[in-house]
Chains A and B, each alone.
Chain A
C-alpha cells in the first residue's frame, strides 16, 4: 500500500471515527437503532459546503454542520418520544426527508469546494505537513471529540443519559426524564455525524447529495470492530474502540482496493466489507463466552449511574 493510500485510509478512518462515536452514543449508550445518520452525514456536508460558498468562515461553517446534524437527531428523537413513532421508523422518516432537504439546502445535487478555502487549506497555510496535513488536523478533532464524549458521559447528566439507555424504568425511578435524555443523546450523536459530514466535504472538496449511502453500515462496523479489539470495559475504552474500529475498517478497504493481493477485485469490495464485520462479530461473540468478566463490567455500569443520579 502506498503512503498516500495509507494516509487516505487514515483520513477516512478518522472521519468515520466521528460517525462511530455518534453511532456508539445512539446504538450502544441509548440503545436506539438510529438510521438518521445516512441523512445527517450528507446534511452536515450540505450545510458546511453551502455556508462556505456563501462566504461564511470555514470554522463557523463546520460548526453549522454539527448544529444541523444535532437538529436532525433531535427531530428523530422527537418523532420517537413525543409522537410515539417506533424508533427504527422515526430514523428512516428523518433520513428520507433529509434527502429532499439536503437538495434544497444545496440548491443542486453536487457542490464542488475545489480551490475554495476550508479548514484543511487553512491548516496547510500554517504548517507544511504534506500528505499528513488533513490526517493530523482530523486526529486532533477526533481526540477532542472523544475526550468531550468521555467527559460528558461521566457528568451527572451523562450518567442519567446512560441510565436511560441501560434501564429506562430504573432511570425513571431516579427522577430521570427519559424522553429528554433520548432527545439530548440523539442530538449529540447526530451532531457528531453532521460534523463528520462537514469535515468530509471540506477534506474531499465536494458535497454530493448521495454521499450518505451506507454511513450507518460503516459506523456500526467501526463500533463492532472496536468492541472486539479493546472491549467495552469503560466509556473511555469503548470510544477508543470506535476510533480504532473505524481506522481498521478503512484500512481493510484500502487493502482490498490495492487489488491483486489475494485475488480480490474491485467488484468484490462490498463482499469484503461484509466479511470484515461478520468476522469481527464472530470474534467478539466467542470472546464474550470465554470472558464473562466483560459482561459483568458492562452490566455493572447502571449501578454506577444509579449512585450518581440519586
Chain B
C-alpha cells in the first residue's frame, strides 16, 4: 500500500511539473539558444564576446532576442540532452561553443535549425562542415586554429638557441591533438623539433612538465583546457629549471607564462557573434565561411622572463600589446 503511495506521489509530482511552460517575461522577436560543454576561462571569454557582438548588431538579450543559455557541466550525456531540449524549443539559432557541444547540437537539430559554433579547432575533422571556405550545410562558425608560423617565429626570435620545443597537452582533447599536429608541421620549417608530454588531468600537469626538463629548450602550451587550468605549475618548473614557457592564450601570461601570441577568445567570440547576427538576419550558414582570427596580440611577462633566464630587447617589449612588469 505504502509502495503504491510512493509511486503515486512520484507520478503526481512529475505530472505537476511537466506542463509548466518556460517563463517568458517579454515578447522577443527571435530566440537564440547557446550551450557549451564546461565553464572554463577561454569558453567564458568566447561566450562574452558572442553576447556582446550580438548586442552590437541589435540583438540584445531580453530586449530584441531571448537568449537561452545552458552549460553541460562537463558531461557528454547532459550535453546531448541540452541539444535535444534546444531542438524541441526550435529556436531561430543555436550557438555551440566547443567541439562536443557543436556535435551534439548537430545531431539533435537534424538540419532543421541553423547552428553557429565557436572555438572548434578542426570543424572539418569533426564533420561539422565540408570545408572552411564552403561549409555546405546548416552549420558554420569560428575556429580557434592558430597561425602557428607566427608562434615559431616568436620562439626563434626570443630564444634563438632553442631547437627542441616541449609541448604539454591532454591527449584526450580533440582540439589539442589537432593543434599539436599543426605545431609539428610549423616547427619543421624552422628546424625545430617537438617533444611531447601529456597529462590526462590537471593534477598530472606538474609531473608532465617536469618530464620535459632536460629534453626541451623551451615549453610551448597549446590552448588546452587541462594544461591551462594548471599553468602555474608549469611556470614553476620553467622558473626552477630556467626553461622559458610560451603559451597560446594571453590569460596564461598574466598567470606567469613568459610570452604568448595571444589567441584572444573574446575576439573569437565577437567574430562568432557577428556570424550569428548574419544568420539571424537571414544569411544561410552554407554560404558563410568558417571564421578564424588572423592577428595575434603579443603578451609579455618581464618578471617571468627574468626568472626563466631570458633577456628581452627594448624593441620586443615595445611591440607587445601588453607587458606585465611586476
Residues of A within 8 A of B (CB): 1-9, 11-12, 15-16, 99-100, 103, 108-110, 112, 114-115, 200, 204-206, 208-211, 213-214, 218, 228-231, 248, 250-251, 253-255, 257-261, 266-267, 269-270, 283, 287, 290-291
Give the interface segment out of B6-14, B184-192, B213-221, B303-311.
B6-14
Fill in one digit per residue for B66-107: 1 if any A CB lies within 8 Å of its CB, else 0.
Answer: 001111011111101111110111000000000110011011
Whether a CB of chain A sits under 8 angstroms from the CB of B39 is yes
Question: Is A5 in contact with B177, judged by CB distance below 8 angstroms?
Answer: no
Q: Which of B6, B10, B127 contacts A248 (CB 8 A)?
A: B10
* Smallest CB separation, B202 vs chain A (Å): 13
* Smallest CB separation, A301 vs chain B (Å): 18
Question: Is B7 in contact with A110, judged by CB distance below 8 angstroms?
Answer: no
Question: Is A267 in contact with B73, judged by CB distance below 8 angstroms?
Answer: yes
User: 19 A-B residue contacts at CB 8 Å?
Assistant: A2-B89, A4-B87, A4-B88, A8-B83, A8-B85, A11-B84, A99-B172, A103-B172, A109-B174, A112-B127, A213-B74, A213-B76, A229-B6, A229-B10, A253-B78, A254-B85, A257-B70, A257-B81, A267-B71
Question: Is A287 in contact with B70, judged by CB distance below 8 angstroms?
Answer: no
* Smallest CB separation, A193 vs chain B (Å): 13
Fill in one digit per residue for B118-131: 1 if any A CB lies within 8 Å of its CB, else 0.
Answer: 00000001111000
Main secondary structure of the interface of A (DSSP, over half): helix
Whether a CB of chain A sits under 8 angstroms from the CB of B18 is yes
Whether a CB of chain A sits under 8 angstroms from the CB of B281 is no
Evaluate whether A259 and B68 lie within 8 angstroms (CB atoms) in the complex, with A99-B172, A99-B200 already known: yes
Question: Is B174 in contact with A110, judged by CB distance below 8 angstroms?
Answer: yes
- Besides the contacts A204-B104, A210-B172, what 12 more A-B pairs have beta carbons closer than 8 Å? A4-B87, A6-B88, A8-B85, A112-B125, A114-B103, A213-B76, A214-B75, A230-B7, A248-B14, A259-B22, A266-B71, A269-B71
Q: Which of A7, A114, A254, A283 contacts B107 (CB 8 A)?
A: A114
Chain A residues with Cβ under 8 A from B70's Cβ? 257, 259, 266
Evaluate whether A260 and B18 lie within 8 angstroms (CB atoms) in the complex, with A110-B99, A205-B107, A266-B70 already known: no
* Smallest CB separation, A268 vs chain B (Å): 9
How far is B310's CA from A150's CA once the two chains are assembled, in angstroms? 69
Question: Is B81 in contact with A250, judged by CB distance below 8 angstroms?
Answer: yes
Question: Is A257 in contact with B103, judged by CB distance below 8 angstroms?
Answer: no
Question: Is A287 in contact with B89, judged by CB distance below 8 angstroms?
Answer: no
Q: Which of B14, B100, B127 contacts A114 (CB 8 A)?
A: B127
Fill in one digit per residue for B161-199: 1 if any A CB lies within 8 Å of its CB, else 0.
Answer: 000000000011110010000000000000000000000
Residues of B within 8 A of A (CB): 2-3, 6-7, 10, 14, 17-18, 20, 22-23, 39, 68-71, 73-78, 80-85, 87-89, 99-100, 103-104, 106-108, 125-128, 171-174, 177, 200
Question: Is A103 in contact with B104, judged by CB distance below 8 angstroms?
Answer: no
Chain A residues with Cβ under 8 A from B76's Cβ? 208, 210-211, 213
How far is B88's CA from A1's CA once the two chains are assembled, in angstroms? 8
Chain B residues with Cβ under 8 A from A248's Cβ? 10, 14
* Smallest CB separation, A199 vs chain B (Å): 12
Question: Is A260 in contact with B22, judged by CB distance below 8 angstroms?
Answer: yes
Question: Is A267 in contact with B39, judged by CB distance below 8 angstroms?
Answer: yes
How far is B6's CA from A174's CA once the two chains are assembled, in angstroms? 39
* Smallest CB separation, A4 vs chain B (Å): 3
* Smallest CB separation, A103 vs chain B (Å): 6
The 10 nearest A-B residue pairs measured at CB:
A8-B84, A2-B88, A4-B88, A110-B174, A211-B76, A112-B127, A5-B88, A5-B85, A205-B107, A266-B70
Question: Is B126 in contact with A110, judged by CB distance below 8 angstroms?
Answer: yes
B19 — nearest CB in chain A belongs to which residue? Answer: A1
Evaluate whether A12 and B106 lie within 8 angstroms (CB atoms) in the complex, with A108-B177, A206-B100, A257-B82 already known: no
Question: Is B22 in contact with A12, judged by CB distance below 8 angstroms?
Answer: no
Evaluate whether A251 and B14 lie within 8 angstroms (CB atoms) in the complex, with A3-B88, A210-B76, A259-B22 already known: yes
How far is B17's CA from A287's CA once the two chains are assembled, in angstroms? 24
How far is B87's CA from A6's CA once the two chains are assembled, in angstroms? 11
Question: Is A261 in contact with B103, judged by CB distance below 8 angstroms?
Answer: no
How far is B171's CA from A15's CA once the two chains are assembled, in angstroms? 27
A254 — nearest CB in chain B belongs to which residue? Answer: B81
* Smallest CB separation, A104 vs chain B (Å): 10
Question: Is B3 in contact with A112, judged by CB distance below 8 angstroms?
Answer: no
How far is B125's CA from A112's CA once the two chains are assembled, in angstroms? 8
* Smallest CB separation, B154 vs chain A (Å): 28
Evaluate whether A213 and B126 lie within 8 angstroms (CB atoms) in the complex, with A110-B174, A205-B103 already known: no
Chain B residues with Cβ under 8 A from A115's Cβ? 127
How far is B80's CA from A230's CA once the two chains are assembled, in angstroms? 28
Question: Is B18 in contact with A1, judged by CB distance below 8 angstroms?
Answer: yes
Question: Is B81 in contact with A9, judged by CB distance below 8 angstroms?
Answer: yes
Chain B residues with Cβ under 8 A from A283's Cβ? 6
* Smallest CB separation, A97 vs chain B (Å): 11
* Smallest CB separation, A204 vs chain B (Å): 5
Q: Which of A206, A210, A254 contacts B103 (CB 8 A)?
A: A206
Chain B residues with Cβ under 8 A from A2's Cβ? 85, 88-89
Chain B residues with Cβ under 8 A from A269's Cβ? 71, 73, 78
How far is B147's CA from A6's CA once the two chains are assembled, in angstroms? 43
Question: Is B172 in contact with A8, judged by CB distance below 8 angstroms?
Answer: no
Chain B residues with Cβ under 8 A from A16's Cβ? 77
Chain A residues with Cβ under 8 A from B39's Cβ? 267
Question: Is B81 in contact with A253, judged by CB distance below 8 angstroms?
Answer: yes
Question: Is B2 in contact with A291, judged by CB distance below 8 angstroms?
Answer: yes
Chain A residues with Cβ under 8 A from B14's Cβ? 248, 251
Question: Is A208 in contact with B100, judged by CB distance below 8 angstroms?
Answer: yes
A113 — nearest CB in chain B belongs to which residue? Answer: B127
Chain A residues with Cβ under 8 A from B108's Cβ? 4, 8
